[in-house]
Amino acid sequence: MRHLEYRLSDLRKLAKQGPQHGQTVRIALLGDSATQFLTEALLGHAAARGLRADVFEAGIGQIDSQIFNRDSALYLHEPDFVIVFRSNTKLYEDFSASDLAPEGFAEAQLRGVKAQIDAILSFRPGCKIIYFNFPELNDYLFGNYGNSTARSFIYQLRKINLSLMELAQTCDALLICDLCSLQNRYGRDAVHDPKWQISAGLAYGLDFLPAVAKHVFDIVTAVRGAARKCVILDLDNTLWGGVLDEGGMENIQLGELGAGKAFCDLQRWLKRLKQRGIILAVCSKNDEAIAKEPFQSHPDMVLRLEDIAVFVANWENKVDNIRHIQEILNIGFDSMVFLDDNPFEREMVAQAIPDITVPALPSDPVLYLDFLQKLNLFEVASVSGADDDRTLQYQQEAARRQVRALYQSEQAYLSSINMRANFRPFAPLDLPRVAQLSQRSNQFNLRTSRYTTADIERIAQSDGHFTLSFELSDDYGRYGLVVALILERNADDTLFIEAWMMSCRVLNRGLEHFVLNQLVDLAKRHGYRTIKGEYLPTRKNALVKDLYERLGFVGRDRYWYLSVQDYEMKPTAIAAE
Amino acid sequence: MRVSTMNQTMLKEIESIIRDVLDDATIQLREESSPMEFEAWDSIAHVHILVGIENRFGIKFELRETQQWVDMRSILESVKGKLEAA
């Protein structure tokens, strides 16, 4: 994936061609200004990402009339995403026209927003709301003193933006598209275009809309499970200045003074990404011992060896090395980012592996960090505590693979590592992790339904469902929660497997046998006679196409059925804890 | 450059912009041509075309002058006026 920035004219053309195939995303766009140009940009971005966007555009100024009417065209459209696009100019008009005390404006606005959110989620539960926040607009009525009084518009606007953030933290289905940060990036002049505002009703300038549409689709694709998970790093002139060779570490530039600072700043950001769950890998053309030395003992290095999940340094070509890294991590190339200062290496990798993201780093290293942040590569739809351990988990996996290489048979190896699993219905602490598993699992995922934490909470408390989560560990470490099952209790003594998701890190261990054994046991205990499953094919889950068949289910119409009574426990090297 | 030649050059540039926005490579523009002749020239295309012309010539139109345009000649006059003032 190479093109991350488009112009409006490009998007207009892409929108016209549109992808003929590809999954459909249903979007509703509500605005208090002219939204046709944003719609064009959205269609263009959808097409660029291989999606078909079905966009319902309500007429201008119909936000509330669409939201609060359960029979409105908005709900008839059955959107997956509802975009609420309110402009800062309309907000300012409302502020100026209001009879009420200016000090209470933000609070009154937030009451209105909460009512909108509640209505949308009650008439269309399961959709996501993408609410645009407000680029800052300062009328300078008080000059800088506007910061010292709650009566100023700038004060109330900032309070609204902050309150939107607080609201989003309590409501999973609400996602803020941060236009305010975008204006910081692109500047007021790109956002505020009075000529088009007055003549065409456009709230924000035409140069701004492609960026807005990009960020909307960054959110959409993250919700749909396409988060980036890994950064592969070159070393020379990417993580430090200069070239590291046998001459020693003293020759590279790092540190808080001079050219080295740019690299330390980049490393600091990468380290924070790692701490929030992104995996870092190194892929360098160098001798391994030489390449590792700065990570082990250079005083100014921010990244240390334990921050790197997979460290590859040799004289092979980078394409092969990156394929090797992908095999170890077992994540899609489309969830990887490759950073290299060398355009030749970048081009080679980008051509050989089209799915990987290869940012075209500017030639001056002092510009790297800002450039990378602007690309907004790491959008997520949720974060959970399990993210923090990810690097450690991959390092443990590397250790397992080394041991694996010593065994002749897969079975002998699996028996030797003492795998243990414990399982329970979804507990409150598990909810975010289960939601995240549903959003990120693409391969071992039978029906690929995506759930938010709130969805999982509802299901966990529902009388119409059983839930089970599984944690796995072995002699090399703990995997954490790696399987989630959601079972729907059907009237005819049937349990329907509404969701079965397994982390890609624990494939090929026979865990599905263990899970099925427990599932049948649960069915027996509650008097169910049949277990019913469904496989919904996607581009990424061919792995489980025959799963039900292999597990002994019988296919009929679109579904798979297992008789509880006739079931024989499947063998497994995993012990229950 | 003689006035009519300059007009022709500019007209060709504007023609290419309009062909691109309206997605029609067969469009022929004359000085007497008016936006009304082109079915696909709706309010959205209008903004794209004007922004295209502004970007191509590195100028910014004023609102009131855009409201007075009736045909290509008036657009050309505006463009020339802006370029001369620059």
Contact A40 B47 (CB under 8 A): no
What DSSP character marks residue A150?
T
Contact A196 B66 (CB under 8 A): no
Residue A387 is predicted with a pLDDT of: 67
Residue A3 is predicted with a pLDDT of: 42
Domain ranges of chain A: 8-223, 230-374, 418-576
Of the CA atoms within 13 Å of residue A519, those in its CB half-sphere come to 34
Q: Which residues contact A461 (CB under 8 A, 6 or more apart)?
A: none
> What are the φ and ψ backbone dihedral angles of B44, each rounded to 5 degrees?
-70, -45
Contact B67 A199 (CB under 8 A): yes
CA distance B36 to chain A (A): 18
Contact B47 A12 (CB under 8 A): no
- Name which CATH class applies to A8-223: alpha beta
Q: Which residues contact A10 (CB under 8 A, 6 or more apart)?
A: A44, A210
Contact B67 A206 (CB under 8 A): no
Residue A2 is predicted with a pLDDT of: 39
Contact A199 B52 (CB under 8 A): no
What DSSP character marks residue A367?
G
Contact A198 B63 (CB under 8 A): yes
Please give the CATH superfamily to which domain A418-576 belongs: Gcn5-related N-acetyltransferase (GNAT) (3.40.630.30)
All residues of chain A having their beta carbon less than 8 Å from the beta carbon of residue B67 are: 199
Measured between alpha carbons, how far is A455 from A400 in angstroms, rounded to an integer? 35
Identify each DSSP E strand in A447-517 by its residue range: 465-474, 477-490, 494-502
Q: How far is CA A419 from CA A228, A472, A514, B24, in A?
A: 29, 7, 11, 66
User: Which of B22, B41, B48, B69 is the best substitution to test chain A (most A C-beta atoms within 10 A)?
Assistant: B48
Q: Does pLDDT of B3 surpass 70?
A: no
B7 touches B32 (CB < 8 A) = no
Contact A206 B47 (CB under 8 A): yes
All residues of chain A having their beta carbon less than 8 Å from the beta carbon of residue B46 are: 200
Q: How many beta-carbon pairs below 8 A join chains A and B?
A: 27
Q: How many CB atoms lie within 10 A of CB B1?
A: 8
Interstrand relation of A559-563 and A554-556 (parallel, antiparallel or unpaired): antiparallel
- Is A9 in the B-facing interface, judged by CB distances under 8 Å? yes
Name the pLDDT band for B2 (thresholds 50, 70, 90): low
Name the pLDDT band for B44 (thresholds 50, 70, 90): confident
Tokens coding B26: 């067969």
- Is B55 in the A-facing interface, judged by CB distances under 8 Å? no
CA distance A43 to chain B (A): 15
All residues of chain B having their beta carbon less than 8 Å from the beta carbon of residue A42 are: none
Cα nearest neighbour of B52 on chain A? A9
Residue A397 is predicted with a pLDDT of: 76
Common-topology check for domains A8-223 and A230-374 = yes
ipTM of the complex: 0.83
CA distance A195 to chain B (A): 6
All residues of chain B having their beta carbon less than 8 Å from the beta carbon of residue A40 are: 44
Question: Closest by alpha carbon to A88, among A165, A158, A175, A28?
Answer: A158
- DSSP for A73-125 reads HHHHT--SEEEEE--HHHHHHHHHH--S-GGGHHHHHHHHHHHHHHHHHHHST
Question: Closest by alpha carbon to A397, among A347, A331, A460?
Answer: A331
CA distance B63 to chain A (A): 6
- When divided into structural domains, chain B yields a total of 1
CA distance A441 to chain B (A): 41
Question: Closest by alpha carbon to A559, among A548, A570, A550, A569?
Answer: A548
A26 touches A81 (CB < 8 A) = yes
Type of residue found at A497:
I
Low-confidence residues of chain A: pLDDT under 70: 1-5, 19-20, 385-389
CATH assignment, A230-374? 3.40.50.1000
Statement: the pTM of the whole predicted model exceeds 0.95: no
Measured between alpha carbons, how far is A283 from A312 in angstroms, rounded to an integer? 5
Q: Measure CB to CB from residue B47 to each of A16, A198, A200 and give the nearest one.
A: A200
Interface of B with A in 5-24 (CB under 8 A): 20-21, 23
> What are the φ and ψ backbone dihedral angles of A8, each rounded to 5 degrees?
-60, -40
CATH code, B40: 1.10.1200.10
CA distance A183 to chain B (A): 20
Residue with token string 């000529």: A195
A337 touches A355 (CB < 8 A) = no
Angle at A408 between CA A402 and CA A411, to 5 degrees: 90
